[in-house]
């Protein structure tokens, strides 16, 4: 069997048509031109895609490096945060320890102050000059003043000293104590509401008002006890100099006795030439003098 017979009728028909109608040369050339143009377009597209792919790879490398840098910075920040938290924890523990020590020293100071007053009272009681009833009365005033200063007045002043001023709490506490003594002992204020108003609390809550009533009552007792004695007795509010006088003054609470005296916190008590109780004064650096 020949190739024509194997190809089938359709192939024979196409072959006969091609033989009868051959393609013109110019059409073949045009087709070739179109094929060349298509190939050039495909090549240009391939080149563009290849370049874009290279740019994407470069950007991918840049992003990878940037991500690694971010991860390294994040790790450093985490380490810094851990160190900072450790430092804050250490500082808080140290602060708590110092506050505990300060409170212990304050309690010890109050105890020592009480012992000093007791020894002073005993020494004065043993003196021949204290045989009269007036001298016993002065000792009673001294003991009342000590109790008022260490037990009664602080319960009112401490809450007031925690707010309402740019001064440190200890300084504000000292100022409030001085004002309270002047209002109660000198001005003779017996009203709790008036006392709080003069101390800068015009609308106190119930608990604070109750504390003020107690302080006013005890302060009035102290004032009357001193007034009932001879006219030579009196409260010592005046500051004699900037230098602490160890004979008539002592540093208030944790104040440094080597620093200049700023103001009297707790008045002294004197009868005639006898000093029954020293002044307690607030001391500090010269830049913090009270004008």
Q: Which residues of 213-233 are buried (b: 16+ CB within 10 A; e: fewer)?
A: bebbebbeebbebbeebeeeb
16-22 own/partner pairs: CB under 8 Å, 24+ apart? none
In this prediction, residue 233 carries a pLDDT of: 84
In this prediction, residue 163 carries a pLDDT of: 65
In this prediction, residue 222 carries a pLDDT of: 94
Mean pLDDT by 10 residues, the chain (291 residues): 55 60 67 78 79 75 79 85 84 82 75 74 58 76 91 85 72 92 95 92 82 94 89 88 94 92 95 91 71 38
Give the sign of the dihedral formed by CA 42, CA 48, CA 51, CA 56: negative
| Beta-sheet pairing, 249-251 with 279-283 | parallel
* DSSP-derived secondary structure for 222-283: HHHHHHTS-TTEEEE-----SS--TTTEEE-TT--TTSPEEEEEE-EEEETTEEEE-EEEEE
CA-wise closest residue to 257 among 231, 226, 225, 281: 281
In this prediction, residue 17 carries a pLDDT of: 56
Tokens standing for residue 140 = 């009673």
* Residue whose pair of structure tokens reads 């204020």 in the numeric block: 189
- Compute the distance between CA of residue 111 and CA of residue 107 in angstroms, rounded to an integer: 6
In this prediction, residue 282 carries a pLDDT of: 96
In this prediction, residue 289 carries a pLDDT of: 43
């Amino acid at each position: 069997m020949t190739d024509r017979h194997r190809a089938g009728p359709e192939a024979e028909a196409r072959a006969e048509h091609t033989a009868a109608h051959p393609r013109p040369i110019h059409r073949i050339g045009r087709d070739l031109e179109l094929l060349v143009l298509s190939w050039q377009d495909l090549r240009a597209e391939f080149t563009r895609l290849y370049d874009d792919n290279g740019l994407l790879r470069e950007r991918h490398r840049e992003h990878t490096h940037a991500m690694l840098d971010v991860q390294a910075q994040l790790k450093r920040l985490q380490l810094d945060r851990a160190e900072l938290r450790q430092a804050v924890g250490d500082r808080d523990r140290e602060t708590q320890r110092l506050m505990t020590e300060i409170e212990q020293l304050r309690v010890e100071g109050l105890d020592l102050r009480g012992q000093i007053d007791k020894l002073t009272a005993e020494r004065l009681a043993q003196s021949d000059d204290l045989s009269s009833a007036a001298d016993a009365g002065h000792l009673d005033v001294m003991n009342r003043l000590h109790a008022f200063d260490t037990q009664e007045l602080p319960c009112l002043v401490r809450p007031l000293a925690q707010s309402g001023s740019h001064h440190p709490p200890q300084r504000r506490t000292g100022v409030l104590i001085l004002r309270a003594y002047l209002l109660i002992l000198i001005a003779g204020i017996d009203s709790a509401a008036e006392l709080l108003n003069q101390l800068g609390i015009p609308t106190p809550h119930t608990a604070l008002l109750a504390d003020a009533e107690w302080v006013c009552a005890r302060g009035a007792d102290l004032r009357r006890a001193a007034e009932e004695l001879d006219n030579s007795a009196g409260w010592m509010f005046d500051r004699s100099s900037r230098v602490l006088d160890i004979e008539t003054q002592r540093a208030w609470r944790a104040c440094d006795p080597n620093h200049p005296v700023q103001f009297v916190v707790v008045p002294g008590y004197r009868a005639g030439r006898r000093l029954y109780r020293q002044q307690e004064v607030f001391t500090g650096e010269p830049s913090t003098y009270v004008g």
